[in-house]
Structures are given as structure tokens and as C-alpha cells.
Amino acid sequence: MAFSGLANYDGAMTQDSRAGVECALAPRGPKGGRPTREVAAQLGGHILEVAFRQFTANGVDGTSMEDIAAAAGVSKRTLYARFGSKLALVQAVIALGVDRQRRRIVSSIPAGGVRMRLAAALRKLLDASLQPEVIGLTELIHWFNLNTRDLPAQHRSSGVEHAFEMIEAILLESPRARALPAEALRSVSTLLLDLAVTIPRERILRRYDMENTPAAKAAFIEQTLALLGAGMPYLDD
């Protein structure tokens, strides 16, 4: 699991919520009082990292706000003051996790043609989907959606909106793809994500009929793009 070395708040070690690297929390001043803006921001990230670890280790239903407060080294009052409820805390943890994955993937896609960049993006998405951090994040999203079924759809999370946006941005580098209506572009990005990421992930994690190796994953994605390219010529731009 990606999160380790988390201790109590005062002078603690935590992981930067944007980069996933350990950094020291700045201690409060000797006179106490309200924390500085820097300390407050670091504390928020620290709580979210601890909450993610607690939720994925014990399940959301098996984790209380008291458990998280104790593990993070803060009072329950501080936890509720920042997040209001456990549901809101889960939502904040999901937002942090999804944004972190988006940043990691976007920053690692190489320059090149549409086909090459698309294959690289799909490969990064597939690799990420197989990591323990993302598997845990997926479970949190599933729990959140089950417990917010009465809310409008826009308040729920699929966790893949960033993936659609990434795929669409690459497709729009092709003049032929730019001629597509927005609805058609979203349909294409959904199809690509399902065929090149969701299906091989299922085969690797549940059906066990595909190897989790670089060669197997690259070959599957290339085959998928080749098959779709006959009807979607902009995939080869």
C-alpha cells in the first residue's frame, strides 16, 4: 500500500497529498493557538491519507470517525469541523485519490501521434487500475455510490471522468476526431476505456485468463486499437 509512516499530528510525518511523498508537518508555535495556513493545509492532507488507509484496511462500515481521529492524532471535534460527516470524508478521500491518479498519468504520457499517445494513456490507466491504491479507491467509490443512491447523479462519483477527459483530449488532436459531435466523442472514449482497460482488468483480476505482464497488456491494447481503427480512422492519426 502506498501510505506508510503516518504518525501523530504534532511534528508528524505525512505524505504530501499532491505528490505522495513524505514530508514533515510543520509544528504549531510554542504558544499554541490557531495553526498557520500551511499547517492547516498539511493537516487536512494528513487526515485524508490516514482515512484512506483506515477505510481500505477495515472497510468504510468497519471504520468509525473515532478510529480515524485516533489514527490521525486529532480530536473527533477537529475531524467533524473539517468534514462534517463520514460520508463527506469519504467523498473528500475519493476526490484526493482520483486527482492524484490523474496527475500521475497525465504527466507521464509521451509526446507523439494520436495512436501512440492513446496507447500510452490506455496502458497507464490499465496499469493504475491494477495497483492496490486504485483497487482500494474503486471500493470506496462503490461504497459511496451505494450510499448516495437518492442523490442526483451529478453528486455521485464514477472515478473515471478524468479518464474520459484524458482520452478525449488526445482524440481531439486529430482533425478528423474534432469533427465528431461531443456525444459521439464521449461514446468513443467510453468504448475505448471499457475495451482497453475495464475488460483486461477483469480478465487479470477475476478471470485469471490474461497475464499481468507488460507484454500481454501492450499487446492487448494494440490489438484493440487495431480492431477499432477500421471503423475509427482518427485512431491512427
Pick the CATH number of 89-236 from 3.30.160, 1.10.287, 3.30.70, 1.10.357: 1.10.357
Task: Return the pLDDT at 97.
Answer: 92
pLDDT-flagged residues of the chain (< 70): 1-40, 151-158
Distance, CA of 109 to CA of 111 (rounded, Å): 7
Question: How many helices and strands, by DSSP H and E, does the chain display?
Answer: 11, 2
Longest dimension (CA), the chain: 69
Can you give the pLDDT at residue 59? Answer: 94
Within the chain, strands assigned E span: 13-15, 22-24
- Neighbour-count burial of 133, counting CB atoms closer than 10 A to its CB (0-12 exposed, 13-18 middle, 19+ buried): middle
DSSP 64: -
With beta carbons less than 8 A apart as the criterion, state whether 126 and 201 touch.
Answer: yes
Q: How many CB atoms lie within 10 A of CB 95?
A: 13
Residue 15 pairs with which residues in a beta bridge? Answer: 22
Query: What pLDDT shows up at residue 158?
Result: 67
Q: Identify the architecture of domain 13-84 in CATH.
A: Orthogonal Bundle (1.10)
Residue 132 near residue 205 (C-beta atoms within 8 A): no
Give me the residue spans of the domains in the chain. 13-84, 89-236
